[in-house]
Copies of this chain bind each other. A is one copy, B any other.
């Protein structure tokens, strides 16, 4: 597998575009880019798969996309940022109008499109601006890196960085490319945010197989990040696979299946970590890896509790090697373990620091601790001796800016 430049337009036969149409015009948060409408389109029909928020309160575009993709077929994705079209007047009507506008401008059917929205909750979507903008959006479609970049910009809300990735892998003697763009400044931002990810590939694969593969991969990537523990009403990850790589279609387990899993998982994990590190107000990416656990489920419970803990997140912000908070989070995670069996280390490019062994503190160098924790990427490594299972989850520190972004933005 190789990492290459580009995003959703890297696989064969995909175009993208991102423009400003006016959805963000009454969006009072400072946004890094005013683009607010994006499209990803394949030249030919695709096998399609999607995963969606588990929140009981689902935005209408989520409900509609799930319905449209039930046959595992689609050809494009239309996305807006600035308005989540959740709990909003005329939500379903406007979601359908978005798909219809995309269809009319491309000569396809509304059911060929996934519809994704992200932004404020409870406010009516400016569908007139979207409908007026779609022709220009379609006219701007291109298979260039710049086009993917434009689309990546057009889906941001409080994000500070675009989140693009592309990789190639060998499947059945053919080069298969997987590309993606994502947004999310936290796993979850019911008012401002949401996690959206659009993945494209030219791999040939059966739609139902792709759906199973995606569901499995999402549990191990996007479902392992957290910024604030709030699950959005709009979270969506959609994959379009157009088959133009020319490989023999993947219809089940085997080497080809595994190669695509590796590429798709890499892409999803990359985007997930990008979202965590660009969490609202975040200064650093925090990885908690739990190893030596009795099962992956147990390791995941522990790792997720650590990266979710506000006290751990504040400690990382304060470059404080506060392992007591790590132990405490592991302790209330719901996982079963012997507290006397816990070792904790902090790791980063600046070095490695053992802070706890046998469930008790060990002396450490406070200056080194400061250095280790000041790096942009910090790993909290929790080691048990209960088994062979391991899991990593990702989050970010909790800073003044998180409070500012979420407390002040309407003031």
Residues on A lying within 8 angstroms of B by beta carbon are 54-58, 84, 86-89, 120-123, 188-191, 228-233, 308-311, 314-315, 317-320, 322-325, 327-332, 335-337, 339, 356, 359-361, 398-400, 402-411
The docked-state distance in angstroms from the alpha carbon of A13 to that of B337 is 43
Whether A406 contacts B318 in the complex (CB less than 8 A), given A87-B360, A87-B361, A356-B87, comes out as yes
Q: Is A310 a contact partner of B360 (Cβ separation < 8 A)? A: no
Q: Is the CB of A122 within 8 A of B233?
A: no
Other-chain contact of A122, B188, B189, B190, B324 (Cβ < 8 Å): B324
When chains A and B are docked, how far (Å) is the Cα of A406 from the Cα of B314? 5
Report how far A315 CA is from B191 CA in the complex, Å.
Answer: 10
Asked if B360 and A324 sit within 8 Å, CB to CB, the answer is no
Assess A407 versus B328: contact at CB under 8 Å? Given A87-B361, A229-B310, A310-B228: no
Q: In this complex, what residue of B is CB-closest to A321?
A: B410
Complex alpha-carbon distance, A411 and B410, angstroms: 32
> A86 vs B55: C-alpha distance in the bound complex, in angstroms?
37
Q: Is the CB of A231 within 8 A of B411?
A: no
Given A190-B328, A359-B57, verify A403-B399 contact (CB < 8 Å). yes
A318 to B310, CA, bound (A): 19
Are B408 and A318 interface neighbours, CB within 8 A? yes
Per the bound structure, the CA–CA distance linking A103 and B222 in Å amounts to 55
Residue pair B407, A403 in contact (C-beta under 8 Å) = no
Partner of A411, one of B55, B233, B320, B359: B320
CA distance A407 to B337 in the complex (A): 28
User: Nearest Cβ in chain B — how far from A175, in angstroms?
Assistant: 41
Given A87-B324, A190-B327, A400-B400; A407-B315 close (CB under 8 Å): yes
CB-CB under 8 A from A229, the residues of chain B are 229, 308-310
Q: Are A331 and B398 in contact (CB under 8 A)?
A: no
Contact A328 B231 (CB under 8 A): yes
The CA of A16 and the CA of B191, in the complex, are separated in Å by 50
**Given A57-B331, A319-B411, 5 other A-B contacts at CB below 8 A?**
A58-B331, A87-B339, A188-B311, A310-B310, A314-B407
In the complex, the answer to whether A311 meets B406 with C-beta atoms within 8 Å is yes
On chain B, the residues within 8 Å of A409 by CB distance are 318, 320
Contacts of A188 in B (CB 8 A): 311, 328
Distance between Cα atoms of A121 and B312 in the complex (Å): 13
Contacting residue for A406 out of B233, B315, B328, B359, CB 8 A: B315
- Which residues of the partner chain B approach A403 to less than 8 Å between Cβ atoms? 314, 317, 398-400, 402-403
B311 and A361 within 8 A (CB):
no
Assess whether A191 is in contact with B324, with CB atoms less than 8 Å apart: yes
Q: For the complex formed, measure the closest distance between the CB of A59 and the CB atoms of chain B, giving whole angstroms.
A: 10
Q: How far is the CA of A165 from the CA of B120 in the complex (A)?
A: 43
Residues A339 and B230 in contact in the complex (CB < 8 Å), given A191-B322, A356-B87, A411-B320? no
- Contact indicator B327/A407 (Cβ below 8 Å): no
Tell me the smallest distance from the CB of A61 to a CB of chain B, in Å: 15
B86 contacts A324, C-beta separation under 8 Å: yes
Q: Give the CA-CA distance A361 to B125 in the complex, in Å.
A: 13
